Amino acid sequence: MRFYIRTFGCALNKADSLLIQEILQKHGHIPVKSPEDADVVIINTCTVRQPVEHRVLAYLQKLRQLGNQRVIIAGCMPRVQSKLLRKVFPEAILLPWNASEHILEAISAPKGSFIEGVRSNRIPLLHQDGRAFLPIAYGCVGECSFCIVRLARGSLRSFPPETIVDAVRCLTERGAFEIYLTAQDTGAYGLDVGYTLPELLEQICSIDRDFVVRIGMMNPNHLIRFIDDLLQIFRKYPNKLYRFLHIPLQSGSNQILKKMNRQYTAEEWLSLIERIRCAFPDMSIATDIIVGFPSETEEDFRATVSILQKAKPDIVNVAKFTPRPGTPAAKLKQLPSQVVKERSRVLSKLVRRICLERNVPYEGIIVNALITGAAPFGGMEGRTRNYKPVILPDWTRSYQGQWIRVLIERVSPFALYGKPVRTD
């Protein structure tokens, strides 16, 4: 049987897709590169925001026109949006994220089936051209008022540290050079098993192989608990960890953060950024902002603008608030769409300026970059030690998985552009 997988959403979804692919290939099924060539099409869905959900639904509508392929809808939507999926694609088989290991049952189930299952401690041992998406936990301990993913993924369940470490050993033996640790909130890792993220990183980084780890998103209230231990791990293993942290802010207003049911203040978030940058001035910081949360005033919005101007993150993901079904925030009075749109426009313009300012110092200098693969629009792409994307537009030689020296010739808010100065 030939199968095609299309993945929407986060790195955790990508890890689930790799697990599905691993199981299918182990049983002799063949992956193909287009849905037209497949006997079974698997869509791994995301429902975190309305625009992503709309893209999923549009893709499902397109699939209905292809023909007789069996369609399996996996991921987060089957658990929390099953009625919507049944309306759009009634004959599809629904496979919620925690039933991913039942993919063999799904491909032979009657059309319209809903496959139940319980996730085990199995971790995908496939990688994509050297990059491994490695889940360390599912679910979370938060109760953010806007978040539907917590309803889909449930409460926290951390994988045993020995399972994760064994997986890293296996993946690196199979050629993985980049390990992407992912979870709904990596900072919450181990709260249910009496362990911490820095303790896990200590074990992973002690593995005597050439690879680099990217730590996935962690919420500030968890990072506060172990920030000193985490910074010590960065000092101890400078070549094993990307100097990169993804720490969502969501709003610079404490009033809005409280209504979001976030468990920290804007001042605590800013203090974390300052401590990290004091220890590692070149640490790349990514954050998330929700614009137009219900009841957000101009003063609240200005507080967000102000804290971003102070912190100067390297990456800011700006999202307009969209109510998600079943969440407390969906019941609140929504702001006028034109207000949300204008605030998003203002913030996006500010973010481009801040991100460009963070990248300008790299122009004209030589950096070390790990070549990760082909760039989206030609040439090759790599990452610096602090996870800055480096584009080599005129270079076609692979060197995938190798560190090379690159002269940065120009920069944008989103990437560095250069040419190799040494390839031996």
Domains and CATH numbers, the chain: 2-108 (3.40.50.12160), 131-360 (3.80.30.20), 363-422 (2.40.50.140)
What is the phi/psi pair of residue 201, to 5°?
-60, -35
- Pairwise CA distance, residues 266 & 249, whole Å: 7
> For residue 402, what are its two tokens?
């190798």
- Cα 351 vs. chain centroid, distance in angstroms? 20
Position 424 scores a pLDDT of: 53
Chain centroid to CA 5: 18
At 197 the pLDDT is: 98
pLDDT at 120: 85
Specify the pTM.
0.95
Residue 416, class by beta-carbon neighbours within 10 Å (0-12 exposed, 13-18 middle, 19+ buried)? Answer: buried
Instruction: Let me know the angle formed at the C-alpha of 164 by 211 and 182, rounded to the nearest 5 degrees.
Output: 75
Q: Tell me if 181 sits within 8 A of 214, measured CB to CB.
A: yes
Per-residue pLDDT of the chain (424 residues; tens, 9 = 90+): 999 999 999 999 999 999 999 999 999 999 999 999 999 999 999 998 889 999 999 999 988 888 777 999 999 999 999 999 999 999 999 999 999 999 999 999 999 999 998 888 899 999 988 999 999 999 999 999 999 988 888 899 999 999 999 999 999 999 999 999 999 999 999 999 999 999 999 999 999 999 999 999 999 999 999 999 999 999 999 999 999 999 999 999 999 999 999 999 999 999 999 999 999 999 999 999 999 999 999 999 999 999 999 999 999 999 999 999 999 999 999 999 999 999 999 999 999 999 999 999 999 999 999 999 999 888 999 999 999 999 999 887 778 999 999 999 999 999 999 999 965 5
